[in-house]
Amino acid sequence: MERIALAIGAHPDDIEFKMSGTLLLLKAAGWKIHYLNIADGCCGSTRYGPAKLRKLREAEARNSCAILGAQFHRSLCHDLEILYSLALLRRLAAIVREVDPGIILTHPPVDYMEDHTNACRLAVTAAFARGMPNFETIPPRKNVDSETVIYHCMPHGLTDPLGRAVSPQFFVNTTPVQETMRRAQLAHKSQHDWLRSSQEMESFVKSIEGASLAVGKLSRKFLHAEGWWRHSHLGFASEDSDPLVKELGADQIKRQKSKGFIYAT
């Protein structure tokens, strides 16, 4: 059977900043990788109107996706419209059934903004519903009888919404693929001005380096890293199923002692 990993982000560039290194390592291990941003990025500018920005962000996302070597899926809604709704769930569940991934990479259950949090909730429920023949999807897709394991990336700023620092279950060494990650991130050119004006990121390039370096520092082992939590296996896979750790191996992984959501001290 094909080994497939699906990254589900909230907005264009979320996958690049939080998940792309792990995606690239899975690709190098022989997995087919898929790329989906639920929202289209239409609100992320003070320079462009929503219609023009949607087209611009999609073009940038397609370019980034090509750099990663992933299969592109079009966005499902506008920014700030990632709501835990039945209509959106049916559309996302259709994609999950069609792709039938063994691994899903997505946002953490808690993050600084609701689009991220709701993207996570939708991804988890869409995966849970993959095998339910009585749950209708849009468009209709046949239910699938296969395991999928969900992994949650680190929240923005490496804290929960109340500013409490968190530490992941395990770290993935992304140093070997950092240059490709960088090129994929830089494909989102329209975000430079937006991040500078909205979040005081004076250098888009500096923010790219800073994110993976900060997680690498937390690992106390890797220069650049991404951090992950494995979602509960219940309803998704066997208890001992952990394909991400299995595929990447001990050289690319550093585990934490705790298996839960860890608040750093």
Q: What is the pLDDT of residues 18-55, one digit of tens each?
A: 999 999 999 999 999 999 999 999 998 888 999 999 99
Range of the domain at 39: 4-263
Whether the predicted model's global pTM rises above the 0.85 cut: yes
Query: The domain that contains 16 carries what CATH number?
Result: 3.40.50.10320
Percent of the chain with pLDDT over 70: 92
C-alpha distances (whole Å) from 183 to each of 29, 63, 178, 179, 254 are 20, 10, 9, 6, 26
Per 3-state DSSP, what percentage of the chain is helix, strand, and coil (rounded to 5)?
Answer: 40, 15, 40
Q: What is the pLDDT of residues 154-204, one digit of tens each?
A: 999 999 999 999 999 999 999 999 999 999 999 998 887 666 665 555 556
Q: Which amino acid is at 177?
A: V
Number of domains in the chain: 1
Q: Are 11 and 115 in contact (CB under 8 A)?
A: yes
Strands 4-9, 103-106: pairing kind: parallel
Q: What is the spatial distance between Cα 258 and Cα 57, in angstroms, rounded to a whole number? A: 38
Which phi-psi region, left, alpha or beta, contains residue 133 (left: φ > 0; alpha: ψ -120 to 50)? Answer: alpha
What is the average per-residue pLDDT within 1-6? 92
Which residues is 226 bridged to in the sheet? 172
Which residues is 203 bridged to in the sheet? none
